[in-house]
């Protein structure tokens, strides 16, 4: 398949089951809501080394938040329920409770209920109080700038991690500019996050390593500097490869985001250095979700 001179490989992105939750962080200003959300979702690019994958989903207007203040929606993904509970409580306690004027609410009504403020309330040292509104319990924790309002629980749902796109370009500048444009459009899709810095990862990996202690190592087949010494997937004109990883609540969400990304790459075109679009997979052995690039474009 070729669109605007860009070749779309006959391949698939391989993804796997995860657990996810969404929270809504509000504050006196959008900047302070962002500060809390940015801190809470920091160092959360990959479960391999970070324990979770997290990112800001979108900004919310005061009319869209539970307390009528500016807000940010953030999502966290992990490989299991226990790790999600741990990551959520730790990050909420260290990054939202501490942030001036912040409040924290559930962003998912369905699913299994997991602690949000249920245990954070103990920071109040017995001075905390609660109130039930519409069957939802909220905790008011006294802090030095007033009080921290937090909902007792949030929803945990089944989700999917590891959707991805690889862009192969003539130069590093071409690849990065194309990824920046694609990320901008993909982040308009609801129910997905792009957990890597700026939504882009340059250190794509493969399963395993020559060093037994490592579970993953550099994807040498897509490294331009290794064309002559490894079984390369790159043609001579490709000098840079970058990846966009997508986590989403459903298969449909990831497919939509991938399609938006592919369409953006193709709109840039081969004339501007974007030569090929591919995806990372492990022969179908890693995860049960297979997102075939050409099928996505034909839907």
Domain boundaries, the chain: 2-15+159-298, 20-157
* Residue 82 token pair: 């226990």
Q: What share of the chain is helix, strand, coil (3-state, %, to 5)?
A: 30, 35, 35
* Alpha carbon distance 69, 84 (integer Å): 27
Examine domains 2-15+159-298 and 20-157 and report if their fold is the same.
yes
Tell me the per-residue pLDDT of 6-42, one tens digit each, with 9 for 90 and over.
Answer: 999 999 999 999 999 999 999 999 999 999 999 999 9
Please report the pLDDT score of residue 207 as a whole number: 86
Distance separating the N- and C-terminal Cα atoms of the chain: 14
**Second-level CATH architecture of 2-15+159-298:** 2-Layer Sandwich (3.30)
Tell me which residues of the chain have a pLDDT lower than 70.
none
Please report the pLDDT score of residue 286 as a whole number: 81
Q: Identify the helix (H) or strand (E) that includes residue 149.
A: strand 146-151
Please report the pLDDT score of residue 145 as a whole number: 97
Task: Tell me the CATH number of domain 20-157, given options 3.30.70.520, 3.40.50.300, 3.40.50.880, 3.20.20.140.
Answer: 3.30.70.520
Please report the pLDDT score of residue 283 as a whole number: 83
- The answer for 2, left when phi > 0, alpha when psi is -120 to 50, beta otherwise, is beta
Please report the pLDDT score of residue 150 as a whole number: 98
* Alpha carbon distance 29, 69 (integer Å): 7
Please report the pLDDT score of residue 8 as a whole number: 98
Give all strands (DSSP E) within 221-273, no chain letters.
Answer: 240-248
Please report the pLDDT score of residue 299 as a whole number: 86
Please report the pLDDT score of residue 282 as a whole number: 84
Q: Is the dihedral of CA 54, 57, 243, 80 positive or negative?
A: positive
* Alpha carbon distance 52, 41 (integer Å): 9
* Residue 10 token pair: 């006959």
Please report the pLDDT score of residue 129 as a whole number: 98
* Contacts by residues 143-147 (CB-CB < 8 Å, ≥ 24 positions apart): 143/97, 145/100, 145/101, 146/101
């Amino acid at each position: 398949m070729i669109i605007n001179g860009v070749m779309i490989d006959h391949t698939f992105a391989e993804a796997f089951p995860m657990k996810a939750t969404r929270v809504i962080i509000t504050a006196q200003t959008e900047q302070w809501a962002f500060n809390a959300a940015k801190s809470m979702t920091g160092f959360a690019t990959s479960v391999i080394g970070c324990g979770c994958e997290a990112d800001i989903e979108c900004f919310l207007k005061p009319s869209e938040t539970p307390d009528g203040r500016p807000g940010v929606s953030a999502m966290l993904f992990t490989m299991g329920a226990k790790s999600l509970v741990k990551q959520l409580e730790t990050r909420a306690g260290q990054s939202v409770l501490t942030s001036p004027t912040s409040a924290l609410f559930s962003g998912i009504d369905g699913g299994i209920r997991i602690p949000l403020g249920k245990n954070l309330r103990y920071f109040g040292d017995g001075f905390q109080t609660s109130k039930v509104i519409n069957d939802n319990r909220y905790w008011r924790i006294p802090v030095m700038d007033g009080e921290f309002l937090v909902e007792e629980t949030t929803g945990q749902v089944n989700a999917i991690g590891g959707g991805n796109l690889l862009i192969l370009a003539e130069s590093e500048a071409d690849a990065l500019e194309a990824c920046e444009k694609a990320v901008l459009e993909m982040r308009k899709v609801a129910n997905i996050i792009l957990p890597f810095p700026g939504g882009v990862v340059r250190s794509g990996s493969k399963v395993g390593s020559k060093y037994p202690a490592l579970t993953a190592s550099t994807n040498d087949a897509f490294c331009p500097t290794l064309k002559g010494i490894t079984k390369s997937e790159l043609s001579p004109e490709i000098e840079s490869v970058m990846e966009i990883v997508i986590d989403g609540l459903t298969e449909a969400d990831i497919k939509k985001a991938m399609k938006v990304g592919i369409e953006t790459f193709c709109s840039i075109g081969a004339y501007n250095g974007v030569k090929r679009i591919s995806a990372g997979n492990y022969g179908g052995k890693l995860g049960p979700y297979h997102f075939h690039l050409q099928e996505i474009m034909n839907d």
